[in-house]
Amino acid sequence: MRFRRVLFAAVSTVVLLIASTTAATAAGRSYRNYVALGDSYTSGPLIPLPRLDPLFCGKSTQNYPSILAAALRVRSYTDISCGGADTTNMTRSQSVFLGSNPPQFSALRANTDLVTVGIGGNDHGVFGTLVGTCPSLRASDPTGNPCQDKFTVGGVDTMKAKVVETGKNVEKVLAGIHARSPRADVLVIGYPRIAPESGYCPKILPFAEGDYAWLNSVEKALNSAIEKAVAADGKASFVDTFGPSAGHDACASNGAAWINGQHTKLLAAAAYHPYRTGMAGVAGVILRHLR
């Protein structure tokens, strides 16, 4: 039954994307050469089917760049995103198991006319630190906020302080994109919601109850820092996915979740990463932005 609901949701999303594409083509710019840059929230680890360039970047043929490329009917499409990437991997190769991913800027060309970039969550190890540390602290104070307490030092939220620095890194990334692809429309894709605005689902997101609100606040701070970097750049545009993903957090039921919880699911999603439905949802948000 769950499979049928998920299948229905996926089919419905495809229909909506087709409709959005028609409207976007009629009202907006037609793109020919598209390049996608980003980390695992772009690449889509474990979403079938995997690409082999390289395999251990966790790049899916059904991530949002692939859906977007098909919907826009671009002539050329290069997805050089890779799981674990941070802003340094725009200009530096990234080692992965049994291979490496070239510097992501190497995909940019003078004739590139559309660039999407989803990056920043791995800078300073913020994302990995949160999901790697917070669940283990839940038992010490299930209804409190032990993770927030751990990362608050001398009254300073160290996670949010790191996020501010991430915004500065994103500004440099945008300058690098414009220098290499000066005619491209550059879309900076924000991160979708992981935790619900209210309520808890400890079997899926094993954080202390008080840390749910803090996790949301850190993610909002990250998206805000990225959006401010886009505003400072003045040439790119920010695509908010946090707001549109309300009701699609990891706790959402009946196949509505865009994000997986703590358990890795083969042929579905890595832990704490997007499902195929999440990728389709983000693609729809981007298409509406373009329209």
Q: What is the pLDDT of residues 32-87, one digit of tens each?
A: 999 999 999 999 999 999 999 999 999 999 999 999 999 999 999 999 999 999 99
Question: Which of 40, 60, 181, 245 is the catalytic position?
Answer: 40
Residue 123 CA: distances (Å) to CA of 126, 153, 173, 254: 6, 20, 12, 33
Instruction: Write down the pLDDT at residue 235.
Output: 98
CB 96 within 8 A of CB 54: yes
Q: Which sign does the torsion angle of CA 164, 79, 85, 127 carry? A: positive
Share of the chain above pLDDT 90, in %: 89
Q: What is the pTM of this model?
A: 0.91
Mean residue pLDDT across the chain? 92
Domain extents in the chain: 33-123+166-197+223-290
CB 28 within 8 A of CB 16: no
Strands in 80-202 per DSSP E: 94-96, 99-101, 114-118, 152-153, 156-157, 185-189
pLDDT single digits (tens) 170-198: 999 999 999 999 999 999 999 999 999 99
Tokens of 260: 């997986």
Q: How confident is the model at residue 4 (pLDDT cuts 50, 70, 90)?
A: very low
Q: Among this protein's residues, is 60 annotated catalytic?
A: no
In this prediction, residues 209-217 reach a mean pLDDT of: 98
In this prediction, residues 238-262 reach a mean pLDDT of: 98
Q: Among this protein's residues, is 40 annotated catalytic?
A: yes
CB 113 within 8 A of CB 187: no
User: Strand order of the sheet with strand 185-189?
Assistant: 76-79, 33-38, 114-118, 185-189, 237-239
Q: How confident is the model at residue 98 (pLDDT cuts 50, 70, 90)?
A: confident
Instruction: Write down the pLDDT at residue 29.
Output: 83
**Domain topology for 33-123+166-197+223-290:** Rossmann fold (3.40.50)
Question: Which of 124, 178, 248, 273 is the catalytic position?
Answer: 273
Beta partners for 95? 100
Q: How confident is the model at residue 17 (pLDDT cuts 50, 70, 90)?
A: low
In this prediction, residues 98-119 reach a mean pLDDT of: 97
CA distance 217 to 34: 33
